[in-house]
Chains A and B, each alone.
Chain A
Amino acid sequence: MPLALALVTAAPPTAAAQWTVRGSGVVSVMRHRVDAGYGVEPSRGVGVGAELVVGKGDRLAVRLLTQTGSLDAAGPGAIDRDVADVGAEVVVVAFPWLAAQAGVRRRTYSTVLARQRWTTVHVGAEARVRFTETGVSGIVRGAVLPGVWVNGLDQPDLAFAVASGMEYRRGRASVAVLYSVERYRFPAGPRPSRREQIAALALKAGWSVTR
């Protein structure tokens, strides 16, 4: 889910000392699966969100995002849940085609039984493959999540997120379509091992202002 919200792409290079503000709306089709030792619980749903990217010059940007949605049970044993997500991220453009990213997210799953809060810290990179046609770019990004705190669970021994897709820009407008996967594996302890993953196809439409 965080990666679904992070379907954003780094702001395009702009003249130094210029401020760029890009606002986007995000619609995601999500597939959530979790196995807490009692069998796989699949669910699916749609989320909507918003993103704000504030960039200074062509090197640095700060990204704020939020999303909410509902996941409907899609199999036996699964229950409906709501999901809400907020996050902040710093993007440093090292090269025109490569940017480093680091951020923190706070996510909440709510069911009729309980509420589970996730806090994650991620560090990753995003590569941009620019086509010859101005404004068309391919996006490939990956991140590890060295810090994952979930109430009632230990730290996972595997946590990563990947995403890739296309972005199209024309003037101030932009549209992006990305596929993302976010995967966690919690080791067995007093409790059985837990595996959880959320995949999403996100469509994002944005508008930018430069001054």
Chain B
Amino acid sequence: MRRLVAALVLVALCAAPGGVHLAAAQAGTPPPDSTLPPPDSTAQLLQQARELYERVDIERALPLLQRVVAPGWPFSVTRAQRVEAYTYLAASLVLVGAADSAARYFRAALENDPFTDLDARRFTPGQLAVFRNARRLTFAVGARPVSALRVDPRTERVTFTVVTTHVATLRVEVRSTDASGGRVLFQGECDGLRELSWNGLVADGRLVPPGRYALLVDGRSRLAGRSDSTRVYFDVRHELPTLEDTLPDLRRNQLLPEHYPPSAATGDLIKGLGVAGAVLISGALADGRLGSRNAALPATVAATATLTGVIAFVWRRHHPNAPGNVAANVRRRQDRQSANDAIQRRNAERIAQTILLIAPASGVGP
């Protein structure tokens, strides 16, 4: 009887969906459609198949699972659903004694998702043995998608999970999609699941710059000599307090002239003569009816102003530099530099508090 069931199941696996009905009829069981509500989605059908499997109603579960993985299945099938279908299909086939076919479906599940595994509490030793054999025959590497998270690189780590279906040489690297920098997280032998932590630094020890990155997983089987690779993209952003802008370079009009033009000397002479003239005019404003104007006092001051103008003229002709302005400019530059140094210190303190925002991404670029 058991051989008969196995034969019927194999016929069902090889046939079109209509074949499922035929196999069921030949097995003396009613067609699935007559007892089950018509499946209107992959999830619903998988749910029915799981329930049948749990009731060890393998003959009825197998056609349902076969329909999910058939090319003609009209509904969308996620990768997880396909892997589940393959897995239950393989597990069911093991129960009906079709170990070779079961191994093929286990391998299909592993190729779709290298993280596929069987729970030893829910599957029989026979199923587990077939699955282990499928893992040895299949080589695939996998990496779990990066989930969105917020990481303080000072105290926390980003964890990546990678897997190989069997023992292999593995290299795992975080690399910018513009290939500007990366960091190897793991290089060595790996058999199965491995968790890798990343401190958010790139190869030069600096915090990873914002941008799009890929977790590159390359493996080479130690058993079959085959290679496989996969990559997972994610975005890195920095969350940090707003940084201050540094002061711009001093503009020309913010600096004093450090050299006087030749006209400056003449200007000083004219100023001295002008002040002397003003002094003499002040003297001329004295009341003439109060006696003759005393010229000595204004003349003294006028002479002082004139002498100042002449000395300034000669001095400026021979000393066109403006040391006071030079010193003032130096002070202004120093003040600006000091202010910028302080700003950069404050910014560095803020940058040190950078939080990494990790988010999954779909590819090299948007």
Contact = CB atoms under 8 A, between A and B. Distances in A.
22 contacts: A29-B297, A33-B290, A34-B290, A42-B291, A132-B264, A132-B316, A133-B268, A138-B272, A138-B274, A162-B285, A164-B279, A166-B275, A166-B301, A166-B305, A166-B308, A177-B304, A181-B282, A183-B285, A197-B287, A199-B283, A201-B298, A201-B300
A179 B281 CA distance: 11
B324 interface: yes
B78 to A, nearest CB: 70
A33 to B, nearest CB: 4
A129 B278 CA distance: 12
Contact of B275 (A129, A180, A197): A129
B10 to A, nearest CB: 96
B289 interface: yes
Interface residue tally on B, bucketed by range: 35 or more
Interface in A131-155: 131-134, 136, 138-140
Nearest to B275: A138
A165 B279 contact: yes
Contacts of A33: 287, 290-291
A195 interface: yes
B290 A163 contact: no
Contacts of B297: 29, 31, 179, 199-201
B362 interface: no
Interface string B264-284: 110110011011001101110
A178 interface: yes
A77 to B, nearest CB: 12
Nearest to B320: A132
A132 B272 contact: no
Nearest first, the 10 closest Cβ-Cβ pairs linking A and B are A138-B275, A179-B301, A33-B290, A164-B278, A201-B297, A134-B324, A140-B278, A162-B282, A164-B279, A179-B298
B75 interface: no
A166 B316 contact: no
Contacts, number: 106
A183 B260 CA distance: 41
Contact of B312 (A29, A35, A40, A132): A132
A166 B285 contact: no
B315 interface: yes
Interface in B276-329: 278-279, 281-283, 285-287, 289-291, 294, 297-298, 300-302, 304-305, 308-309, 312, 315-316, 322, 324
Interface in A15-62: 29, 31, 33-35, 40, 42
Contacts of A129: 271, 274-275
A163 to B, nearest CB: 7
A185 interface: yes
A131 B269 CA distance: 9
B127 to A, nearest CB: 86
Given A132-B322, A201-B301, 9 more contacts: A129-B271, A131-B268, A132-B312, A138-B272, A165-B304, A166-B304, A181-B286, A195-B289, A197-B290
Contacts of B260: 132
Nearest to A139: B275
Contacts of A180: 282
B315 A163 contact: no
Nearest to A197: B287
Given A35-B289, A195-B289, A140 B275 contact: yes
A153 B268 CA distance: 46
A138 B301 contact: no
B272 to A, nearest CB: 7
Nearest to A132: B264
Given A131-B268, A131-B312, A183 B287 contact: yes
Contacts of B309: 131
Nearest to B290: A33
A179 B240 CA distance: 67
A195 B286 CA distance: 11
Of A40, A129, A136, A166, most buried by chain B (CB within 10 Å of CB) is A166
A6 to B, nearest CB: 13
A4 B305 CA distance: 18
